[in-house]
Amino acid sequence: MTEHVIVTDEAATRVIRLRRPEKKNAFTQDMYRAVSDAIDKAQNNPNIRCLIVTGGSGVFTAGNDIEDLLNEGTSDQPRASNLVKLLYSLAHNVKPIIAAVDGVAIGIGTTMLFHCDYVLASKAASFSTPFSNYGLVPEGASSLLMPRCMGHQRAFAMLVMGRTMTADDARVAGFVNTVVAAGHAEVEAKKVAREICALPAEAVAISRRLIRLPPEDVTRRIDQENHLFTERMRSTEAIAAFKGFVERTKD
Q: Residue 251: what pLDDT?
A: 60
Bridge partner list, 249 = none
Stated as kind and residue range, the H or E segment containing 238 is: helix 236-250
41-79 pLDDT, tens digit each: 999 999 999 999 999 889 999 998 777 776 776 666 655
Q: What is the pLDDT of residue 75?
A: 66
Output the average pLDDT for the chain. 94
Q: Are the CB atoms for 178 and 195 separated by under 8 Å?
A: no
Give the confidence band of 27 by pLDDT, cuts at 50, 70, 90: very high
Lowest mean pLDDT among 75-84, 103-112, 198-207, 242-251: 75-84
Higher pLDDT, 180 or 239: 180
Tens-place pLDDT, residues 122-167: 999 999 999 999 999 999 999 999 999 999 999 999 999 999 999 9
Rounded to an integer, what distance in angstroms lies between the CA atom of residue 246 and that of residue 23? 13
Q: Does the structure show a pLDDT above 70 at 80?
A: no
Question: Phi and psi for 82 in degrees, rounded to 5?
Answer: -65, -30
Residue 234 phi/psi, 5-degree rounding, is -95, 5
| Cβ atoms 111, 140 nearer than 8 A | yes
Q: What is the CATH number of domain 5-182?
A: 3.90.226.10
Q: What is the reported pTM?
A: 0.93
The rounded distance, in Å, linking the Cα atoms of 138 and 108 is 9
pLDDT score at 67 = 75
Task: Using the predicted structure, report yes or no on whether residue 81 has a pLDDT greater than 90.
Answer: no
Q: How does pLDDT run across 180-210, given as a tens digit for each residue? A: 999 999 999 999 999 999 999 999 999 999 9
- What residue segments make up the domains of the chain, in order of their start? 5-182
CA 214 – CA 211 distance, rounded (Å):
9
Contact present, 53 and 98 (Cβ < 8 Å): yes
